[in-house]
Structure 1
Amino acid sequence: MTEQAKPRRRGEKLESAILDAVWDELHEVGYNALTIEAVATRAGTSKPVIYRRWGSRAELVLAAWTKRQLPRRPSPPDTGSLRGDLIVLFTRIARRADRMMSEMIAGVMGEAFRHPEVAGLLRERLRGAPLGDTVRAVVRTATERGELPPVEISPRVAMVPLDLVRNETITCGSRVSAETIAELVDEVYLPLLRGLAAG
């Protein structure tokens, strides 16, 4: 008796199956051991089908990560103090980085160093992140409370919390602790904001 053929998937269903397979492979074997062939086998498709949609392994992994992002933007924290809001914000970023897995981050960063097109894709994904709006909302609330004079938050300054947490995640290879988050806020980001406000 022959096995019944599976219905052929197309469009979003096929893409979702591929990205789910990527995520499962990342958890099982890690970024460095992940192969397009293994992803294709797990997803029940072929390598050419995958390469028609994504040009590289890093691009495929970034797409799988994007699919795992929260479907809605969380409200900016409002704890009653700028420091408290920043602690909450940095903690959110750290937990998301932890879910992304440090090896995956390091792997994609390594690909970005070697391939300019991957670096461009990574920059595009980071620019599209809602972090900048959240940082500006936190600073605006602090200004309304009288904790800071009005200050302009440039796109680069808005990305500093992510840069700091990502550096800790890659360098330490482990979950960023509450103590480290407090140090990043107290010793780096709060002084940066106060310096900008004073300027």
Structure 2
Amino acid sequence: MNEQKKGTRRRGEILEDAILLAAWEELSETGYTNMTMESVAMRARTNKAVLYRRWNNKTELVMAALRKHLPKIKNDIPNTGDLRSDLYAYLHGLMEPLKLIGTQTIRGLLMEPMVWRIIISSMPQVIEKRSENKLMTGMMEILKNAELRGEIKLEKLTPRIISLPWAIIQYEVITKLEPISDEAIAEIVDDIFIPLLRATQQ
């Protein structure tokens, strides 16, 4: 379908927002595999050429739509009075955006070479700035609260140990190509991370 009538034609940011909203809705309703540039253009009431002037392909468009419309990870740090409960609630919250994206979209994106180039190119920065990472900051706050309650001694934990739960979750998502389940989060907390923390306190 062509652009709106002359005089009411959308341009710039208004048009781009309409396209990204259409892409988000199309992704939610039809899934990554069935979504096309043409279907997004029709939903946005524009044409494919307009989309291709901004994004080279469907992958770029989807990633832009996710950045625009996917709920941001909450910065709320749980403080339930118990380390195990705090860890579970925090990791569960981190997974909510991925569950909203859905398995098909995760699999579709992780099959795209462009996405892997982005992941690989970002790894050195993530490792280099590990202490500044928001996820690490959240984990540190949880562990500091646990230390104040006398549950652990933070000085005995290395950055690698502290980042372990998120590293396992990343591995699970990438290898299984789907959001990690609540049961898996509980296993990571109860069978891996908590026992490791206890072992370091000896």
- TM-score exceeds 0.5: yes
State the Cα deviation string for residues 46-103 of structure 1 (Å, max 9, x = none).
Answer: 3232223223322221221222233684311111122111110122123322111111
- For the aligned residues, what is the CA RMSD? 3.4
Change (3 A) 1:198 1:57: farther
Quick one: which of 159, 164, 178 aligns to 1:153?
A: 159
CA contact (8 A) 1:169 1:176 kept: no
Deviation of 1:36 (Å)? 1.0
Please tell me the residue identity of whatever aligns with 2:5.
A
Change (3 A) 1:67 1:190: farther
CA contact (8 A) 2:74 2:93 kept: no
Residue in structure 1 matched with residue 25 of structure 2 by the alignment: 24
Residue in structure 1 matched with residue 144 of structure 2 by the alignment: 140
Please tell me the residue identity of whatever aligns with 2:147.
T
Does residue 176 in structure 1 map to residue 181 in structure 2?
Answer: yes
Residue aligned with 2:111, SS:
helix
Change (3 A) 1:59 1:158: farther
Residue aligned with 2:152, SS:
coil
Does residue 163 in structure 1 map to residue 183 in structure 2?
Answer: no
Deviation of 1:182 (Å)? 1.5
Change (3 A) 1:198 1:133: same
Deviation of 1:110 (Å)? 0.9
Residue aligned with 1:54, SS:
coil
CA distance in 1: counterparts of 2:64 and 2:197, whole angstroms: 33
Residue in structure 1 matched with residue 78 of structure 2 by the alignment: 77
CA distance in 1: counterparts of 2:168 and 2:136, whole angstroms: 10
Q: Structure 2 regions of 5+ residues with no counterpart? A: 127-131
Residue aligned with 2:10, SS:
coil
TM-score w.r.t. length of structure 1? 0.75
The correspondence of residues 51-70 of structure 1 with structure 2, limited to 5 A, is 51-70=52-71
State the Cα deviation string for residues 102-149 of structure 1 (Å, max 9, x = none).
Answer: 1111110111xxx2x322334659959843322222223223333222
Change (3 A) 1:191 1:57: farther
Percent identity of paired positions between Structure 1 and Structure 2: 34
TM-score w.r.t. length of structure 2? 0.74
CA distance in 2: counterparts of 1:193 and 1:45, whole angstroms: 55
Residue aligned with 2:78, SS:
coil
Residue aligned with 1:70, SS:
coil
CA distance in 2: counterparts of 1:107 and 1:72, whole angstroms: 22
CA distance in 2: counterparts of 1:161 and 1:144, whole angstroms: 26
Residue in structure 1 matched with residue 129 of structure 2 by the alignment: none
Q: Structure 1 regions of 5+ residues with no counterpart? A: none
Change (3 A) 1:168 1:148: farther
